[in-house]
Structure 1
Amino acid sequence: MSALIGVDTLIMTVVILLLAASWRLNQKRKYYRNVTTKLPTIFGIPFIGIVHMMLNVNKVYQKIGKVFDNLKASTCCIWVATTPYVLTVDPEVIKHITSSPEFLNKSKDLYTHFQNGVFSGLLVSPAKKWKADRKIINPFFAHNNLLSLIPTFNDKANNVKNKLARLAGQGEQKIFAILKECGLQLSLLTIMDMKLEESSETYTEIVEAFNVFIDHMEKDLLCSWLGLGFLSRTPQYNRILKYIRDLMRSLTKKHLAQQIESEAMNNFVENKQAMIDITIKALRQGIFNENQVDIEGFTMLAASYETSVGATYTCLLMLAMHPEIQERVFQEIRSVFPDGITSVEYDDMKKLPYLDMFISEALRIAPPGPYIGRQTVDDTELYRGVILPKDAQVLIPIYELHRRKELWGPEASHFNPDNFLPENIAKRHPYSYMPFSKGSRNCIGFRYAEISIRIILIHAVRNLKFSTTFKYEDIVYVPRVTLGYKIQPPVSIEARAN
């Protein structure tokens, strides 16, 4: 009898929970009724939404493209589990979203995996905090300060070139690891003023910690979308987070002591190159606390590293897959540097218009941040007749935006630098291309990335030739912290004769 009572109690509990969940879902659907009655909407399966369509990470981007195609709309609404998301690839709507103060907050769900205690700085901070913090950090990315980093960019570009050159004549090689290590060195030096010898134990520890950290963030990204983020917070992940926090704190204390000592000796330099010097100054003025210095430092460090490395790899890969384009890029670079390269200066980069077109096309095909998300501050109009309630989340799938045939023509998925001829740019809506987002909350480091990528490519292409047997049409992009490759195609390298 007691067993039957237990079963009855369990069944009753399940029924009550289902009824409560159904009531909450129904209330949420009422809350968003103005949206779902005005926009084409996919509700999917109750409590599941379209989650089942997104389980295959190798096809996530294609599935989103099909959503727009099937609904025959450029702005729509989808339900993932019990949460609605507005998606748009309409450039005019995107302009409004990225320009309006009502959309300054980041989408809480899209950036959940960044809320880990070391990566929750400028990238995801609420609008009010973001405005104040960005003003503090802006001087690092000012034009003159970036120009002062050009010798460092050249030094690291030479390092990349030399490491790749050692692989010449050895057949197809995986080069992404080389780019990652060199990118990490550059970010540590320019952001945190930390120079490491590659043979040192500390260097090995930091490289390993970053690799593990990024791997765990990728798992966190996928789990968080399903509401299962806790599964990725393993003891190893927590150990890595502690290691990174301790590293950032030690660098903060070191640079604080150096600033105080320099002032005492009357040789304090107001505008240092490294970002940590700017945030330490804010600490001493009482604007930042130590934790903010650590978090903003790591946020900029990881963001610059991830963005630049991924974009550089894509560029080298596109060169390898398109030999006729590579030859044209090479000839242009050689015309500016006929006797080889000692150093690439800022004015040199202005003489390479086809290289600019090529890089723009690479960033169109593989934008480092394939999605961005915003969240409404209050009830606000998305466009005429469509009012989004407070805290509604809007996602802009940049990957899909850059491939829409109505914006880029029938061959939108093909690689073609001519898309960025001046006459072709003039025909398109300016918000149909946004590899580093747009508006006031765009990527603060986009000029840093653009300059560093160009200098690396100039050094590499002037001295090396790239090829691969991997076919362009066989590339599969997958969601990671930034845009990732299911398989990273290997590349063959040959040394060029001057």
Structure 2
Amino acid sequence: MLTWTLWCGLLFVLWIYFLWSRRRFYLLTLKIPGPIGYPFLGMAHKLMRREDILNEFGIYMAKHGPTIFSWLGPIPFMIVSEPQVVQDILTSPHCVNKGIIYKAVDDGAGVGLFSLKDPRWSVHRKLLNPAFGHKVLLSFLPIFNKETAQLLSQLDALPGGGEKDLIPLLQSLTLGIATQTTMGCDVKSEENFKSNSLMERYQCRWARQLSGKEANYYRAKTEIRAFIRKLIQKRLSEDTEDSIKSKDKNIFLNLATDLLRRGVFDWKNVEDESNVIVFGAFETTANTVYYVLMLLAMFPQYQERAFEEIKSLFPNSGDFEVTYEDTQQMVYLDLVLNESMRVIPPVPVVSRQTSQDLTLTNGIVVPKGVQIAINMFHMHRSKKIWGPEAESFNPDNFLPHNTRDKHPYAFIPFTKGIRNCIGWRYALISAKVTLAKLLRNYRFKTSFKFEDLYYVEDITMKLKAVPKLEIQKRM
């Protein structure tokens, strides 16, 4: 008779064979290529380090093509960087829900617009859309201008001091803008709402544990939650019947607290959505502005063209008011912004999951329960789409004759479709006001080479080594 150990060993081998056969069946049935991976692990061992993920995705694409099927442990997943397949996914009512990788965000920010499941997400999105309407965004321009003027005064002390890390200054700028435009007050100087606390809170949990920052994370999360709650309570306590009627209900916090009073939102909804909105407005804008400055420093010929356009609109250096009409005349700056977000997308990968079977345009049926990684980083850099120089930086890629024949989903820095970014217009206007003032007043340089950049997948795009910038005063 077989011993217990031999029985266990046989069952283990049969289980491995079952998993392997199931995976081969998926690959043959779906007709989507990809690595089978190891039993139990799948390809999870290749994707454990965030700094390796984009590199591994690139290797898979080179070997298997732009749409790949594999496994993360026992979980089937797809990596997609083919525009038509991306469109099929982002416009499908069966792919509205975010993937399981966003659980780490839920822990830090709470469950808000970023990761809510449908149909609750659809309800929240419809209720909060007015906070990002055109008239509301126009009302933010004085704040954009005022905060950027303060940044100019800080930068005036830096010329002649060599290369500097400007990210803390930009994060302070965008945090001040974000809290004023969404929460109605400037909290960037408050100790419990420092930008480094925000970043600690949004690190992935496993990364915090490995780096020994778990205690700092929980402290930051608790403090920021308490501070957001305090702001909400203050707003509610100050409200009278007359003041409620006189307030612009489309300002985010006014809108959220009004929904709370009417019983549509509960306290947790207001807190979670406040956290998500502040973070979304704060970090992506800071990164986008910095990456534009960095790329223009690496490619000075394009920086000079952007400067000449801005100088034609604002002949005098120093502070000046940028209007919405001014931002619409910054045609070359639009090219620069788009090209920067193509080469370094604000969010390199977004995740969805199928809630029902999904039929793609090519006839392939993706089963319910599949995790999907939409790989914008490699799609934006595809030589098949963007030509042989796709991995370099050239704003001319967005001249009308160069984009005319591109697939509408070949460039999606704010995603697209049903669940696109609620604040994409906000981000672009804020970035253009900031860049106009910075590029008119300073020339940016760096000794860091473009080809030495190493990109790290995160909630938002990160760089393994962040180039420092030298600034020179313009007249």
Identify which of 412, 418, 424 aligns with 1:440: 418
Which among 274, 287, 291 is matched to residue 314 of structure 1? 291
1:271 is the counterpart of 2:251? no
- Separation in 2 of the partners of 1:24 and 1:65? 29
1:284-303 aligned at under 5 Å gives the runs 284-303=261-280
SS of 2:444's partner is strand
The residue type paired with residue 478 of structure 1 is V
Identify if the C-alpha distance between structure 1 residues 286 and 491 changes in structure 2 by more than 3 Å, giving closer, same or farther: same
The answer to whether 1:95 aligns with 2:80 is: no
Alignment correspondent of 1:48: 41
Q: Aligned partners of 1:360, 1:124: CA distance in 2, in Å?
A: 26
Secondary structure class of the residue paired with 2:315: coil
Give CA deviations for 1:110-165 in whole Å, capped at 9, x if unaligned. 21211216332001101201110011111110000000000001111112222222
Match of residue 457 from structure 2: 479
Residue identity opposite 1:193 in structure 2: G
Contact 2:192 2:220 in 1 (8 A): no
**Residue 196 of structure 2, aligned match among 201, 206, 211:** 211
Q: How does 1:96-175 map to 2 (within 5 A)?
A: 96-108=88-100, 110-116=101-107, 118-175=109-166
Equivalent-residue separation in structure 2 for 1:371 and 1:24 (angstroms): 31
Which stretches in structure 1 are left out of the alignment for 5+ residues? Answer: 1-7, 224-228
Question: What SS class does the counterpart of residue 404 from structure 2 fall into?
Answer: helix
**Is 2:78 aligned against 1:67?**
no
Q: Which amino acid aligns with 2:117?
A: P
Counterpart AA for 1:436:
F
Instruction: Select 2:440's aligned residue among 421, 445, 462.
Output: 462
Which of 270, 282, 285 is equivalent to 1:305? 282
Query: Considering only aligned residues, what root-mean-square deviation do their CA atoms show, in Å?
Result: 2.5
Aligned residue in 2 for 1:226: none
The worse-fitting range, judged by mean Cα deviation, of 330-339 and 270-279 is 270-279
Which residues in structure 2 correspond to 1:409-448 (within 5 Å)?
A: 409-448=387-426
SS at match of 1:333: helix
Distance 2:264 2:445 in 1: 50
Distance 1:252 1:74, change over 3 A: same
The alpha carbon displacement at 1:177 in A equals 1.1
Separation in structure 2 between the aligned mates of residue 190 and residue 346 of structure 1, nearest angstrom: 16
Alpha-carbon distance, 1:409 to partner? 0.3
1:78 and 2:62 correspond: no
**Bigger Cα displacement from structure 2, 62-71 vs 486-495:** 62-71
Which sits farther off after the overlay, 21-30 or 433-442?
21-30
State the Cα distance separating 1:83 from its structure 2 match: 2.0
Secondary structure of 1:394's aligned partner = strand
SS of residue matched to 2:246: coil
Instruction: State the secondary structure of the residue aligned to 2:310.
Output: helix
Tell me the equivalent position of 2:230.
250
The residue aligned with 1:236 is 216
Does residue 338 of the first structure (1) align with residue 315 of the second (2)? yes
Counterpart residue number, 1:325: 302
Cα 1:23–1:243 shift into 2, 3 Å: farther
Closer/same/farther in 2, CA of residues 312 and 14 from structure 1, 3 Å limit: farther
What is the count of residue pairs matched by the alignment?
472
Structure 1 pair 308–26 and aligned structure 2 pair: CA distance change class (3 A): same
Residues 314 and 35 of structure 1: CA distance in aligned 2, closer, same or farther (over 3 Å): farther
Distance in 1 of aligned mates of 2:179 and 2:74: 41
Q: Secondary structure at the match of 2:447?
A: coil
Counterpart of 1:433 in 2: which secondary structure? coil
Q: 1:197 to 1:302 in 2, by over 3 A?
A: closer
Shift of 1:271: 1.8
> Residue 247 of structure 1: CA displacement?
1.2
SS in 1 for 2:377: helix
Alignment TM-score, normalising by the size of structure 2: 0.93
Amino acid of the structure 1 residue aligned with 2:44:
V
Query: In structure 2, what residue type is equivalent to 1:372?
Result: V
CA gap of 1:111–1:35, structure 2 versus 1, over 3 A, is farther
Contact preservation (8 Å) 1:174, 1:490: yes
**Matches of 1:216 and 1:284, distance apart in 2:** 29
Partner SS for 2:178: helix
Number of the residue aligned with 2:326 = 348
Q: Secondary structure at the match of 1:115?
A: helix
1:172 match: secondary structure: coil
